[in-house]
Amino acid sequence: MPMPASVAPGSGAMPIDATFAVESRGFSDARLDRAMHRLVERISRQTGIEIHGGKTVLWIECGAAGPPYPALDEDESYRLEITPSGATIRSATVTGAIRGMETFVQSIDPGANGFEAPSVRIEDHPRFAWRGLMLDVSRHWMPVPVILRNLDAMAAVKLNVFHWHLSDDQGFRVESKRFPKLQQLGSDGHFYTQAQVRSVVEYARDRGIRVIPEFDMPGHTTSWFVGYPGLASAPGPYEIERKWGIFQPAMDPSRDETYKFLDEFIAEMAALFPDPYFHIGGDEVDPAQWSQSKSIQAWAARNGFKDAHAIQGYFNRTIEKILARHGKTMIGWDEVFDTTLGHDTIMQSWRGQASLADAARAGFRGLLSFGYYLDHLQPASVHYAVDPLSGAAAGLNDEQKARILGGEACMWSEYVDAETVDSRIWPRLAAIAERFWSPASLTDIDSMYARMEPVSRLLDWVGLEHRSNYQPMLERLAGEKSAGPLRVLADASEALGIDARRDARPYSSLVPLNRFVDAARPESATVRRLELDARNLASDPAAPAELNAAFTLWAANDARLHPTGEIAELSKNLSIVGSIGLQTLEYLRTGQPAPENWIAQQTEALREIEKPSAEVTLAAVRPVRLLVEALARARTNGRNK
Amino acid sequence: MPMPASVAPGSGAMPIDATFAVESRGFSDARLDRAMHRLVERISRQTGIEIHGGKTVLWIECGAAGPPYPALDEDESYRLEITPSGATIRSATVTGAIRGMETFVQSIDPGANGFEAPSVRIEDHPRFAWRGLMLDVSRHWMPVPVILRNLDAMAAVKLNVFHWHLSDDQGFRVESKRFPKLQQLGSDGHFYTQAQVRSVVEYARDRGIRVIPEFDMPGHTTSWFVGYPGLASAPGPYEIERKWGIFQPAMDPSRDETYKFLDEFIAEMAALFPDPYFHIGGDEVDPAQWSQSKSIQAWAARNGFKDAHAIQGYFNRTIEKILARHGKTMIGWDEVFDTTLGHDTIMQSWRGQASLADAARAGFRGLLSFGYYLDHLQPASVHYAVDPLSGAAAGLNDEQKARILGGEACMWSEYVDAETVDSRIWPRLAAIAERFWSPASLTDIDSMYARMEPVSRLLDWVGLEHRSNYQPMLERLAGEKSAGPLRVLADASEALGIDARRDARPYSSLVPLNRFVDAARPESATVRRLELDARNLASDPAAPAELNAAFTLWAANDARLHPTGEIAELSKNLSIVGSIGLQTLEYLRTGQPAPENWIAQQTEALREIEKPSAEVTLAAVRPVRLLVEALARARTNGRNK
């Protein structure tokens, strides 16, 4: 995952043991050498074999280095051939070889005689050139190790753009030497030094990943104003924002000093970030400060700017020119879009394919983020069904379609911190990565989930903590008691996203994210397996035992957990769901028809139980509902006989 | 854990939230500052709270720095007082303050209104001054991060000596600049550079831990001879040993060149390791090379050395003098002990309290390691019952008892590697640490286990991988299948130690340690809880539900797992045990007496099932046997009525 463009299985398999080696022939450079070294380390971790080399070789035949820094148009294609006696990756560039290595490592499986890579011929290339993840490090601080392990994981699923949301109302996260009060007063001490930024860019480059900085402006800029209140459209003083939402402070678009500041700031950042693209945000500008300022209103009237939209248009055009002077092309969110901008500008759309299609028709390039908002904690299947070229974009001609470069998943960090962020991004991002890389025809949900599960485990070995932090977080909640029953409850629950949490309690950046909802996963793999069992009750001989074991555990769990506080109701409900499940299984097993009103009562009970509680939903309801529905069908069929 | 010498609980609790801070008053130095900083980081990780400080303070009142490098006789005592409004640690030295901080961090619990540290007054000091862990890094290589995280964990349970077994037949693990072929030819490239050694020593020092190097000699030295065959008692050439056992190569005790080499080598190592003690091993010398060498035999005859023991005695006395010249005092295993040695020499006993007592009577200081061999994978309760001053040592007078400095747990690494070693050391070492630190009167096994379990979880936050590697290892074995059923089997199994594995298959350092036995834990916490449930069946209302849930899972597990290979029989047996458990519970629940021959049959079946299989034992048998025994008693009682 992502599924290659073309796969032709062979017979036999290449053994992966202590004699395995990775070697290059023809071209080689330091970046390729490092990638090969990482590959051997990864395979050692993943298999538990200390690899010495000396026999079975994966050959890397790479044509050339490719661009010195990963480029939007670079060739990422590769061919991978695995046979029982060895394997070969052929690619035009080092980045292509890196993509092929990820496919190789995913192909390794435990066979009857130890680990092996089954014989195969793969030809592969990406569908979209821009396949990204946006990470907000302002609302909650994400230290460097969080960034690095997510870059490793991105590379594992062939993503190639890391969009770094570096400033917002709640924190300014990069060291500026020209304007040091930005980070000194605007970050609570949580910012990346320029040396750290350079090391992150270098780390990403090694993995074929571009780094795009975003400095959101002219709104979402409160943290800038703590150190430089003169940039704002109202006098101040300002404090770092602790709450979430859209706030009034915005840069003063009428003063030359604002643009002089931004010119010098952008000059500094343009030198720090080598990518030719630069994101200025531009979303959600509250016009209050502009309309309340007499001088700004007078300036707008002088220049014929009728409204805030026109004012922001002027701001954007000015920034666009500044960026161009420093060799950068502008990216902005939907709101930035305006046909007076240069055609190089890229629009990133959170609104949907329609605005993307409009922009493409007007000659602009675009990226889709609508449908890929990870902080909503929707199932992977929802994201998987969204295609940058579907909906309104499906009607575009080929030239216009070519302007849609790809997409980016977005992880806004109001309700995640360094501890939980991995579990909110992964493994769901792997499904989005497949949408960006693989053929559009790939749409089967069951196949996606069946492949996402092993990829999720593989990402453990890559260094992510999306799975490993689960048990410790539950144990933290359990205190000195065994965390077993709490885990049963969490396995049966799914955390709700930003929409549900926003109104659940008065959150701010000072509220710890260490509660049940933070430990619970967005999507329960346990429940998904039980849903499969419920659907395959008749055909899969293990299914009844699986369901019976789960329902028994659930039914007994409330007595084992003895919960207090916010999860008391949830726990009681799980045991009710378990009991309904056991009774339903019993009806199905014996073939005895259930009373009609019993079915109606259980259906109603499940509907009630499924309502949000403690900011999670009880996913356990779903397989039980499938069984009750089967029972209702059996009853109807029985009556018709 | 370890339990303090004196604990007086108060009322109320100190809240641990974002306003918590650690501050020193009076004395402060850089080492204390670093310890305080680490404490805040640890509490942040452990609670999930980003700590800003500003309100509730833990004050550190430390009298002085203490010795610049941790010393055998240094004052490690501290007092800790926690009240609802704040806490104070008072100590004479920084090391004492560090010990107190570990007690503080262990006292933090989730309360009704968030995390808190319950009010308490603690006065605490160690029972033994020498509380160590020996780690063998020769049989399997342990990279620096493994060492560092284990030092953190040692500090968490107040251990203060890291004994580093740095050379053996299978590898020489330290860079020597004077004799570079030692590591160049004797280590497969797996050795610590001198810079790494210095950083480890510094890291340990920061945590109040001394580092004692061991270079085993004159036997266990094959790896030295690969680069320097002239040191050996037979011509060579030599190769790094890949198998386990006692091998013939031994240093030539008759040549001056041997002692000249060792003098220069020890001079180099003495400068690298600041501790005044130096371990020369001295165990398990095979006399074959000595008796087969005409020149050594002639030399021995000339000097009146009757046998190999006398030859080794001469070798030891010579090394003792070399060590003394370089400012070091000698430590050796039992075999080294000889009353002709200087009285400073410390004997480390793997043979038992009797040899330790003999040495103490003869005026020598000693350390107990007998009973603390972690690689035997015995239950923590076994180690906990061993006391350095019990058995033969109990008869010593006070002056002699004072010569028994403490003890060391030993982790030999034939059957562990960097991935599994944490899980073989921890949490059992915490029980041994309590034996070394806490009052001798503390012997309750249930209390020990009840306290060891939360400490084991706490060690997750310290950075150990003893728990976090479990699920990934099982998933590696499961491949693309769900690892759930495999985990049920592993939770019910206990890995066997070196005695059982030695003869199970032809092991060597090239055999990967990635099988079921390597994933399984030495002691099953799941089974331990079920044993408690079985004993408390009548008094604990949750016990029947717990047992029923577990037995149901076990009974259904073989059908879910469908195992092949070495665990097939084990899996079948688990389901049989589950079924016996369910039937027994049913007899007990209904009060219906079980037929006498049914009880006899199940007892016999359980006995058969408990025999080792796939290098593990099925611990699941134990709670079921307890229930069958209860049933048998109920039958007898019923008959007597």
pLDDT digits (tens, 9 = 90+) for A248-259: 999 999 999 999
Residue B113 has a pLDDT of 85
| Interface contact A280, partner B, CB < 8 A | no
pLDDT digits (tens, 9 = 90+) for A612-626: 999 999 999 999 999
The residue from A462, A493, A524 where one domain ends is A462
CA dist B57 → A376, B83, B84, B124 (Å)? 38, 10, 10, 21
pLDDT digits (tens, 9 = 90+) for A92-110: 999 999 999 999 999 999 9
Same domain for B503 and B432? no
Q: Do B454 and A480 touch (CB under 8 A)?
A: yes
Residue B19, helix vs strand vs coil: coil
For residue A20, the chain B residues in CB contact (below 8 A) are: none
Q: What mean pLDDT comes out for the span B3-15?
A: 97
Residue A482 has a pLDDT of 84
> Confidence band (pLDDT; 50, 70, 90) for B338?
confident
Same domain for B385 and B496? no
Q: Do A471 and B467 touch (CB under 8 A)?
A: yes
Nearest to A474 by CA among A442, A514, A503, A506: A514
Q: Is residue B460 part of a domain?
A: no
Q: What mean pLDDT comes out for the span A404-430?
A: 97
Q: DSSP letter string over B333-386?
A: EGGG--TTS-TT-EEEESS-HHHHHHHHHTT-EEEE-TT-BGGG---HHHHHT-
Residue A105 has a pLDDT of 97
Q: DSSP letter string over A141-188?
A: ---HHHHHHHHHHHHHTT--EEEEEEEETTEE-B--SSSTHHHHHHST
pLDDT at B516 over 90: yes
For residue A188, the chain B residues in CB contact (below 8 A) are: 52
CATH number for the domain spanning B60: value is: 3.30.379.10
Same domain for A230 and A181? yes
Residue B313, helix vs strand vs coil: helix
- The catalytic position among A123, A284, A475, A566 is A284
Distance separating alpha carbons of residues B174 and B179, to the nearest angstrom: 11
Distance separating alpha carbons of residues B427 and B460, to the nearest angstrom: 10
Q: Which two tokens stand for residue B484?
A: 């759930």
Mutation for testing the B interface, residue in A109, A475, A530, A540 having most B CBs under 10 Å: A475
The partner residue sitting opposite A513, judged by closest CB among B48, B483, B552, is B48
Residue B640 has a pLDDT of 47
pLDDT digits (tens, 9 = 90+) for B556-614: 999 889 898 899 999 999 999 999 999 999 999 999 889 999 999 999 999 999 999 99
Distance separating alpha carbons of residues A147 and B80, to the nearest angstrom: 39
Same domain for A623 and A509? yes
Q: What mean pLDDT comes out for the span B228-241?
A: 96
pLDDT at B638 over 70: no
pLDDT digits (tens, 9 = 90+) for A40-70: 999 999 999 988 888 899 999 999 999 999 9
Please determine, for the modelled complex, whether the ipTM score is greater than 0.95.
Answer: no
Q: DSSP letter string over B268-311?
A: HHHHH--SSEEE-------THHHHH-HHHHHHHHHHT--SHHHH
What is the Rg, in whole angstroms, of the alpha carbon atoms belonging to chain B? 27
Residue B549 has a pLDDT of 87
| Interface contact A513, partner B, CB < 8 A | yes
Q: Is residue B405 part of a domain?
A: yes
Same domain for B312 and B217? yes
Query: Count of domains in chain A?
Result: 3
Strand ranges for A268-364 from DSSP E: 277-279, 329-333, 346-349
Same domain for B389 and B280? yes
> Confidence band (pLDDT; 50, 70, 90) for B641?
very low
Find the residue in B nearest to A453 (Cα).
B480
> Confidence band (pLDDT; 50, 70, 90) for A639?
low
CA dist A233 → A59, A252, A296, A321 (Å)? 60, 4, 8, 22
* 39-58 of B, contacting A, C-beta below 8 A: 45-50, 52
pLDDT digits (tens, 9 = 90+) for A302-357: 999 999 999 999 999 999 999 999 999 999 999 888 878 888 999 999 999 999 99
Q: Which two tokens stand for residue A49?
A: 């074999």
CATH number for the domain spanning A245: value is: 3.20.20.80
Find the residue in B nearest to A550 (Cα).
B553
Structural domain that includes position B17: 6-124
Instruction: Give the rounded percent of residues in chain B with a pLDDT score beyond 70.
Output: 99
CA dist A280 → A175, A266, A342, B243 (Å)? 17, 10, 15, 62
Nearest to A239 by CA among A169, A191, A175, A293: A169
For residue A562, the chain B residues in CB contact (below 8 A) are: 542
Q: Do B479 and A109 touch (CB under 8 A)?
A: yes
Same domain for A141 and A28? no
B284 counts as catalytic = yes
Instruction: Give the rounded percent of residues in chain A with a pLDDT score beyond 90.
Output: 90
Q: What mean pLDDT comes out for the span B464-488?
A: 93
pLDDT digits (tens, 9 = 90+) for A437-483: 999 999 999 999 999 999 999 999 999 999 999 999 999 999 888 89
Same domain for A444 and A307? yes
Tell me the average pLDDT of chain A. 95
pLDDT at B53 over 90: no
Same domain for B481 and B424? no
Q: What mean pLDDT comes out for the span A263-270?
A: 98
Q: What mean pLDDT comes out for the span B394-416?
A: 97
Q: Is residue B67 part of a domain?
A: yes
Residue B414 has a pLDDT of 97
Residue B408, helix vs strand vs coil: strand
Same domain for A455 and A485? no
| Interface contact B541, partner A, CB < 8 A | yes
Is pTM beyond 0.95? Reply is: no
Q: Do B472 and A457 touch (CB under 8 A)?
A: yes
The residue from A105, A124, A143 where one domain ends is A124
pLDDT digits (tens, 9 = 90+) for B133-175: 999 999 999 999 999 999 999 999 999 999 999 999 999 999 9
Residue A638 has a pLDDT of 64
Distance separating alpha carbons of residues B599 and A627, to the nearest angstrom: 39
* 560-579 of B, contacting A, C-beta below 8 A: 560, 562, 564-565
pLDDT digits (tens, 9 = 90+) for A567-578: 999 999 999 999
The residue from A99, A124, A149 where one domain ends is A124
CB B626 within 8 A of CB B534: yes
Q: Is residue B49 part of a domain?
A: yes
Q: Is residue A431 part of a domain?
A: yes
Residue type, B150: N
Nearest to A417 by CA among A524, A510, A489, A479: A510
CB A465 within 8 A of CB A422: yes
Same domain for B159 and B63? no
Nearest to B577 by CA among B627, B535, B542, B538: B627
* 603-632 of B, contacting A, C-beta below 8 A: none
Compare A113 and B241 and report the one with higher pLDDT.
B241
Q: Do A545 and B559 touch (CB under 8 A)?
A: yes
| Chain B nearest CA to A461, separation (Å) | 8
Residue B639 has a pLDDT of 56
* 449-488 of B, contacting A, C-beta below 8 A: 453-454, 457, 460-461, 467-468, 471-473, 475-477, 479-480, 482-484
Question: Could you check whether the bond before residue B218 is cis, i.e. omega within 30 degrees of 0?
Answer: yes
Compare A299 and B559 and report the one with higher pLDDT.
A299
Q: Is residue B465 part of a domain?
A: no
The partner residue sitting opposite A110, judged by closest CB among B477, B484, B553, is B477
- The catalytic position among B81, B123, B268, B284 is B284
Q: Is residue A1 part of a domain?
A: no
Distance separating alpha carbons of residues B363 and B342, to the nearest angstrom: 10
Residue A641 has a pLDDT of 45
Same domain for A262 and A276? yes
Distance separating alpha carbons of residues B370 and B351, to the nearest angstrom: 6
> Confidence band (pLDDT; 50, 70, 90) for B81?
very high
Residue A365 has a pLDDT of 96
| Chain A nearest CA to B585, separation (Å) | 15
Tell me the average pLDDT of chain B. 95
The partner residue sitting opposite A542, judged by closest CB among B483, B526, B560, is B560
Q: Is residue A629 part of a domain?
A: yes
